[in-house]
Structure 1
Amino acid sequence: MLSKWKNKFTSQEFGLTHKDPEIFVICQWQHKNTPSIWYLLYRWLVVIYFITTWLLSILIVKTKTDSYQLKWLIYLTHWGYTTCTFQALLAAFMLTSCVLAHKKKPYKPSKDGAFTCYKLYWAFNTIATVLACVITIVYWSFIYNPAKNPLDVMNFILHGMNTVLMLFDFWLVSHPTRIAHCIYPMMFVTVYAIFSVIYYLAGGTSRDGTDYIYPILKWELPFRTLLVCAGVGIFIFALQTFFFLMYLLKKRVHKKLGRRKSIELNSSSPRCDGYVNEAVIAGDEV
């Protein structure tokens, strides 16, 4: 058992290479092994939602002063929401390209340009999923103040619906979840922490005029703030582990439902034309 968990932290596990890139454009629960039009419709609806709400978060502000609008850029919430939007665009682009490519006969997955960005999508999807949960939990637990932050629609969209949509998406996608990929949201949050230090040293202020962006990120108290950052890092690792366990659960549920036929990865039989569903193979993986 221990050796299996150690294998989750090999150099290969930290990487973003997958032997079957088609897994990134297939819905976990669809019947056929070819790209689904219904899944494509879902993908573009998600893109429209994220882009619309992302733009509204910039345009709908309490005041129209330039400095207030520019400070949209300093908040981790907006960094995270931008990541959600970007990964949604990548997913829709890949699936659209794959659907169009499938109309060409014969279809050759190795020649499909749709999969050139699957590694970028995988990384940003991991970041967006974990970061959405971090933002939602931390915001409502430690930052939300009814006196300063009214519970309006936009507040809920940025700090609640982000997690709802990313969790829903998590149960739809077929690509695997790796514990070692916690390194990517950790790197993202580290970049933000470095930015917040530089912003503080440069005399930057929040939209409320405070010399800190968030109450839990006061760099005038460096030791306490570093402990907060370390705690967020540990929390990210715990969340990624949780998502890995949910991924195993999703595989088992899919296997019991028997939605699609698959082949074993170690089988000597030739690879079928199209997608091999990883969620119904190696069901006892730990």
Structure 2
Amino acid sequence: MATSCQYEFQRKLFGFSDSNPETFYTSQWFQCRIAFLCYRIFMFLYSLIWTINTTIYYVPKFPNYYGFLSNWAEWSLVAYFGVSLGVAMYGVVTRNSDREMSEGSRVTKFFKDRLQWFHRLSWVFFNAVISANILVTIMYWSFLSHKGNNAEAANIHQHAMNTVLMLIDLFIIAIPIRLLHFIYPMLYAIVYIIFTLILHGAGVMSVYYSDLLDWQSLPGLSTGLCVGMAVVAIPIVHCAVFGLYHLRAFIARKVLPHDSAQPDDDGQQNPTFQMT
């Protein structure tokens, strides 16, 4: 459901209010849970295979492989697709029981219509992972691409296809994007920054990107970069994702037939997806 900015600036929307579990089992464009599950399987296997490949390729070159944001973002991508695959499988397994539920089971139906912890985990992962990967892509091609072999398949997957996969997912899924959910990618960035500081303090690793993140020789620049990334860049990227979500909703309103209206955030059919 496309929303107004006035609607988005509600304190409850820092959390997971006003959403329907059905949006985690189906696409914006079709309501077949089996087809959506097949999509989830493909995305998970594709990202997992490529990430294993890039890990095998980069670990011998970079002993401190685990310290780089690009690698964090890539494995987070796999984690997101894995969690979302599990949620989609749950939607398929419970489909028949949902249909057979009697009118007397209203209490059970009430809980089934509310988000469970795994829905929320998938939602948090999506917000954190899409912003992190877009930021990695922008930073790499803006500041670091001149240092690497940009024709390498592993490099292309890690710094370009990562964002392509998440943008495809953004336009396929039916999950709404909340403007106030910028806090989740921001927390992701803060966790990574703290991790690099811990490695620096322990004497394990201080230089991550020689001209950008170097706690040993350039602490001031590194601090400014980290603050700018967490407080400025991440919210801007999330706002761009929010805008793309509205584009998805706009296209859906124009192309979906009347009887293909997707569930609204409160579980009702959303008239904004009907042809006008």
Counterpart of 2:133 in structure 1 is: 132
Unpaired segments of 5 or more residues in structure 2?
Answer: 102-107
Q: What residue identity is the alignment partner of 2:248?
A: K
Counterpart of 2:37 in structure 1 is: 40
TM-score norm. by structure 2 comes to 0.83
1:14-40 CA distance string (max 9 Å, x none): 11234412111210011x4xx432221
CA distance 1:264–1:247, shift in 2 (3 Å): closer
Counterpart of 1:5 in structure 2 is: 5
Which stretch shows the higher mean deviation, 240-249 or 54-63?
Answer: 54-63
CA distance 1:165–1:150, shift in 2 (3 Å): closer
Q: Determine whether 1:156 maps to 2:156.
A: yes
| TM-fit CA distance, 1:150 | 5.5
In the TM superposition, 1:193-204 aligns within 5 A as 193-204=193-204
Q: Determine whether 1:218 maps to 2:214.
A: yes
CA distance 1:29–1:7, shift in 2 (3 Å): closer
In the TM superposition, 1:17-166 aligns within 5 A as 17-30=17-30, 32=31, 35-61=32-58, 63=60, 68-69=62-63, 71-104=64-97, 105-107=99-101, 110-111=111-112, 115-146=116-147, 148-149=148-149, 151-166=151-166
Q: What residue identity is the alignment partner of 2:93?
A: L
Identical-residue share of aligned pairs (%)? 25
How many residue pairs align between the two structures? 259
Given that 2:182 and 2:235 are in contact with CA atoms closer than 8 Å, whether structure 1 keeps it comes out as: yes
1:90-116 CA distance string (max 9 Å, x none): 111111121122133515764489944
2:83 aligned counterpart, secondary structure: helix
CA distance 1:143–1:279, shift in 2 (3 Å): farther
Counterpart of 2:234 in structure 1 is: 236
Q: What residue identity is the alignment partner of 2:209?
A: Y
Cα distance between partner residues in 2 of 1:72 and 1:192: 14
The alignment yields a C-alpha RMSD, in angstroms, of: 2.8
| TM-fit CA distance, 1:162 | 0.3
Cα distance between partner residues in 2 of 1:77 and 1:7: 34
Given that 1:176 and 1:278 are in contact with CA atoms closer than 8 Å, whether structure 2 keeps it comes out as: no
Q: What residue identity is the alignment partner of 1:79?
A: W
1:65-122 CA distance string (max 9 Å, x none): xxx55x2211111111111111101111111121122133515764489944000000
1:144 aligned counterpart, secondary structure: helix
CA distance 1:277–1:83, shift in 2 (3 Å): farther
Counterpart of 2:104 in structure 1 is: none
TM-score norm. by structure 1 comes to 0.80
Unpaired segments of 5 or more residues in structure 1?
Answer: 206-210
